Amino acid sequence: MNVYLFFEVLILCYCMVSTRSEAGYTIQVSTADLYQYRYLTNYGIPTPNSTHMLFRVRACNDAHVILRSSGKKEIEIVLGGWNNTISCLRTKVQGPCHRKYNGRVLNCKSYEEFLISWKDGRIMVGKTNSEFGSFRDLLLEYQLRKPLSGVKIGVSTGFGAAGKWMFEARSEAGYSIQVSTADLYQYRYLTNYGIPTPNSTHMLFRVRACNDAHVILRSSGKKEIEIVLGGWNNTISCLRTKVQGPCHRKYNGRVLNCKSYEEFLISWMDGRIMVGKTNSEFGSFRDLLLDYQLRKPLSGVQIGVSTGFGASGKWMFIAPAAGFERRFKNSPTMLDRQRNYSQRHNSQPSVEEIFQADMDYTRMSIKYGDIPCSLCCILPDRTKQYDCVQMYCLNRKHTCKNPVLK
């Protein structure tokens, strides 16, 4: 079976056994039977640099969403128009439909969940009932010539229908810890903030600096990994195995911004150091910058951050959820199952075998009231070889890493 086709089937099947808690939908908005947009700016929707919105709506027909960019570009999305028979994507208000979907998508009596994404100018509209917030059914898709920026979002009903809307409250996607570093190359450790939590193998963060954002991973075995983001006047990023040592991996290109925060993910699971950029609230890699395999995994990791060499920095981190690591530290990951399978059978498992094991664990998780920590992968671009083989949980979100399944 084609691996992309399999994963599309996998996403559909897996997400249908997941459940999404109502708890995250704390913002409720009502719209009258009046075609007039109500903007969500006062609710902090969308957050700066966000490229998608997850929401629920209950309406008989004509749930309208508008994306209005700072460049005055407008995208109007009609869900369940024409008496809930057609959904439509327009490039101006009440303009012609550039994309259509025929079928019923709304319900007068119950909420339907949708995901709208505008990343890189690619407008995607779909239904989702998964805890991962990934598409279950893609309804509308349209590529703009230029990405949208400074997006404001409005919602409306009308044409015979009122509506009830539910949105997730976003507080900079959970970034409640802020740290400043001076133009001084001296590490400031994050231990007092509970970062990283015990047994954690990754860190998601944002940083605003002109150049030279440094991160050090220091293990209890005194092994040090130094990561330089935007060094050499923001032209080179570098991975070192000792402080100020030679670069074992390099990435050429600008990764930092003096005026805005850039989001990064660092992972050190099983001794594989992965550093990448991500602007997704799912926390998965968008662009993998540095990748290096150690001989032995890091343990008892302490993390420090620093700037210097002509730049100061502002950092943002996610506060650890209380009891989170204790709850999930024994949850089997995909690599655990892959490793155990290999030991038993002296061979690597197939995608189908991993998927079946994961489905079994998902059912077990739901049965015992746990949050499933399981396989689900979004494939937004088929030209990129991102086959998901592992999941980990982050603040009740499920995120995937991108090592290719061999």
DSSP string, 66-116: EEE-TTS-EEEEEEEHHHHTEEEEESSTT---SEEEES----SSS-EEEEE
Of 193, 196, 201, 214, the C-alpha closest to 302 is 196
Evaluate if pTM is beyond 0.75. no
Q: What percent of the chain has pLDDT over 70?
A: 66
By C-alpha distance, which of 125, 2, 130 is closest to 63? Answer: 125
Nearest partner of 75 among 57, 56, 95, judged by Cα: 95
> Where do the domains of the chain lie, and which CATH numbers do they carry?
1-24+322-406 (no CATH), 27-168 (2.60.120.560), 177-317 (2.60.120.560)
Question: Tens of pLDDT along 154-165?
Answer: 999 999 999 999
Q: Which of 4-13, 36-45, 50-59, 338-347: highest mean pLDDT? A: 50-59
> Tens of pLDDT along 60-117?
999 999 999 987 899 999 999 999 999 999 999 999 999 999 999 999 999 999 999 9
Quote the pLDDT of residue 134.
Answer: 58
Phi, psi (degrees; rounded to nearest 5) at 38: -110, 115
- Please write the tens of the pLDDT for every residue from 246-265: 999 999 999 999 988 898 98
d(CA 384, CA 144): 20
- Cα torsion at 357, 330, 220, 400 (round to 10°)? 50
Per-residue pLDDT band at 174 (split at 50, 70, 90): low
Over residues 364-387, mean pLDDT: 33
What number of other Cβ atoms are within 10 A of residue 145's Cβ? Answer: 6
> Environment class of residue 21 by beta-carbon count within 10 Å: exposed (0-12), middle (13-18) or buried (19+)?
exposed
Tell me: the pLDDT tens digits for 317-327?
876 643 333 23
Look at the alpha carbons of 234, 239, 243, 247 in this order and tell me if their dihedral is positive or negative: negative
Omega of the bond leading into 380 within 30 degrees of 0 (cis)? no
Mean pLDDT of the chain: 74
Quick: pLDDT tens for 121-130. 999 999 875 4
Q: Which is more confident, 262 or 334?
A: 262
Say whether pLDDT at 361 is over 50.
no
Per-residue pLDDT for 378 more than 60?
no
Question: In angstroms, rounded to a whole number, what is the distance separating the alpha carbons of residues 235 and 298?
Answer: 28
3-state helix/strand/coil string of 105-140: CCCCCCCEEEEEECHHHEEEEEECCCCCCCCCEEEE
Separation of alpha carbons 69 and 377, rounded Å: 29
* Average pLDDT of the residues in 175-193: 89
Q: What percent of the chain is modeled with pLDDT above 90?
A: 49
pLDDT of residue 71: 79
Of 377, 379, 333, give the one whose Cα is nearest residue 357: 333
Q: What is the pLDDT of residue 366?
A: 31
Q: Which two tokens stand for residue 130?
A: 């998964």
Question: Tell me: the pLDDT tens digits for 203-231?
Answer: 889 899 999 999 999 998 889 999 999 99
